[in-house]
């Protein structure tokens, strides 16, 4: 019997056909317009707004700069309530703005910030809430907005995982004051590196567009200390092609998700997240939670077992952000405050999911999980 040792990574980008990319690049070469709000950038903004069902979108060179700039755009200061169960960029964007993150625990079902625990964390210094739609599963947005309205707080959604996610047929990106997306190579929709801010008014879009271009308004006036966070034409070209194929990508990921769910449904101690009512998902990630007391071995043992077999699942999000050096001494970082997040972080494993993952790849992964 031959052992299949082809490495399988947690994800793999779905690249557009190279000849189509080269055709678009020829246009860029002819025009010699490479960045600074070029024609492809403008086209992508308008096509994305249309596809996503949002009014105003500003493209960025990556999601982290989009987050940092979103906080700048709203002049957020003091303390911001956020989740420790996310990629570290969520809190880093606060740190770069000299804002103190205040970590609040997550709810155990979908692993998003728990609205029931937010109010207890509000202090006179709190100015905003920054939740994350983790793995693209929408937060309890109505409850979060009610709390924000009651206390006069802004809401900025880190929607890095939430491309194309809709609730009751409406984009979830229209919630809160601002939402940010990441278009990194590892994401469902990619511009290689890239990101965006979604806002609700023309004035705010102008403000954000100036912020990502050093704060310039026109040629000679600098209104504020902006940054350089512009998406270039090569990224935009790639993004335009991705958009042509995105529905196929989502369908394929949905199929893979359903195959995993079918094959994993009878393994005691392995839990996966189901689709949410009224939500159309992007199927960005396929996280499982490993309960050692039932399954028999720990999440880390399963991670290593898969790795021995050249399957590179990832522990998104372990360690918790609150356990990293820049944040671990904050009062809100104490484990007692973050019980659900700590449990999820110790149990979660994101299994490979990407367009070219085959049925036999999925069976190979699940067989290892079954055998332990």
Contact set with ligand T4K (CB under 6 A)? 9-13, 62-64, 86-87, 89-90, 132, 158, 160-161, 182, 184-186, 195, 312, 314, 316
Tell me whether residue 135 or residue 260 sits nearer to ligand T4K (CB atom). 135
Q: Looking at beta carbons, which residue is closest to ligand T4K?
A: 63
* 181 DSSP β-pair partners: 196
Q: Are 157 and 132 in contact (CB under 8 A)?
A: yes
CA distance 121 to 144: 13
* Helix residue ranges, H only, the chain: 18-31, 39-52, 63-73, 89-95, 141-151, 202-211, 233-264, 292-295, 299-308, 339-347, 359-371
**Shortest Å, Cβ 134 to ligand T4K:** 7
CA distance 208 to 221: 15
Tell me whether residue 184 or residue 207 sits nearer to ligand T4K (CB atom). 184
Computed from CA positions of residues 161, 119, 333, 77, in that sequence, does the dihedral angle turn out positive or negative? positive
CA 68 to each of CA 25, 148, 157, 292, 325: distance values in angstroms, whole numbers, following the listed order: 30, 20, 12, 38, 20
Tell me whether residue 64 or residue 342 sits nearer to ligand T4K (CB atom). 64
**Shortest Å, Cβ 49 to ligand T4K:** 19
Q: How far is CA 311 from the centre of its chain?
A: 23
CA distance 158 to 263: 31
**Backbone φ and ψ of 196, nearest 5°:** -160, 155
Tell me whether residue 205 or residue 314 sits nearer to ligand T4K (CB atom). 314
Tell me whether residue 163 or residue 260 sits nearer to ligand T4K (CB atom). 163
Tell me whether residue 7 or residue 296 sits nearer to ligand T4K (CB atom). 7
**Shortest Å, Cβ 67 to ligand T4K:** 6
Tell me whether residue 133 or residue 166 sits nearer to ligand T4K (CB atom). 133
Tell me whether residue 186 or residue 259 sits nearer to ligand T4K (CB atom). 186
User: Residue 120, Cβ neighbours under 10 Å: how many?
Assistant: 8
CA distance 100 to 92: 10
- 331-344 as b/e: b if 16+ CB within 10 A: ebbeeebbebbbbb
Tell me whether residue 64 or residue 137 sits nearer to ligand T4K (CB atom). 64
CA 231 to each of CA 22, 40, 241, 254, 301: distance values in angstroms, whole numbers, following the listed order: 19, 10, 15, 29, 41
DSSP 135-154: GGPPP-HHHHHHHHHHHT-E
User: What's the distance, Cα to Cα, between the start and end of the chain in Å?
Assistant: 20
């Amino acid at each position: 019997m031959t052992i299949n040792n082809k490495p399988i990574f947690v994800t793999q980008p779905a690249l557009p056909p190279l000849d189509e990319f080269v055709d678009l690049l020829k246009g860029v070469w002819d025009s010699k317009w490479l960045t600074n709000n070029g024609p492809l950038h403008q086209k992508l903004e308008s096509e994305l707004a249309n596809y996503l069902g949002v009014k105003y979108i500003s493209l960025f060179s990556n999601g982290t700069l989009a987050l940092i700039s979103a906080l700048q755009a709203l002049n957020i200061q003091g303390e911001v309530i956020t989740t420790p169960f996310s990629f570290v960029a969520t809190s880093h964007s606060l740190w770069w703005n000299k804002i103190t993150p205040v970590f609040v625990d997550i709810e155990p079902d979908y692993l998003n910030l728990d609205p029931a625990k937010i109010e207890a964390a509000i202090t006179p210094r709190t100015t905003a809430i920054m939740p994350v739609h983790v793995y693209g599963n929408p937060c309890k947005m109505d409850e979060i907005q009610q709390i924000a309205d009651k206390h006069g707080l802004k809401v900025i959604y880190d929607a890095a995982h939430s491309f194309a996610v809709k609730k009751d047929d409406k984009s979830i990106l229209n919630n809160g004051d601002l939402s940010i997306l990441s278009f990194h190579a590892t994401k469902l929709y990619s511009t290689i590196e890239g990101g965006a801010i979604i806002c609700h008014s023309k004035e705010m879009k102008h403000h954000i567009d100036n912020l990502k271009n050093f704060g310039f308004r026109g040629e000679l006036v600098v209104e504020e200390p902006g940054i350089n966070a512009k998406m270039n034409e090569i990224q935009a070209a790639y993004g335009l092609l991705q958009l042509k194929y995105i529905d196929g990508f989502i369908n394929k990921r949905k199929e893979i998700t359903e195959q995993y769910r079918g094959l994993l449904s009878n393994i005691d101690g392995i839990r996966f997240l189901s689709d949410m009512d009224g939500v159309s998902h992007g199927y960005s990630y396929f996280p499982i939670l490993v309960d050692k007391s039932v399954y028999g071995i720990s999440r880390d043992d399963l991670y290593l077992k898969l790795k021995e077999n050249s399957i590179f699942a990832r522990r998104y999000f372990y360690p918790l952000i609150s356990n990293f050096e820049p944040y671990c001494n904050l009062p809100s970082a104490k484990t007692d405050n973050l019980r659900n997040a700590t449990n999820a972080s110790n149990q979660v494993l994101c299994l490979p999911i990407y367009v070219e993952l085959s049925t036999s790849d999925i069976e190979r992964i699940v067989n290892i999980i079954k055998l332990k």
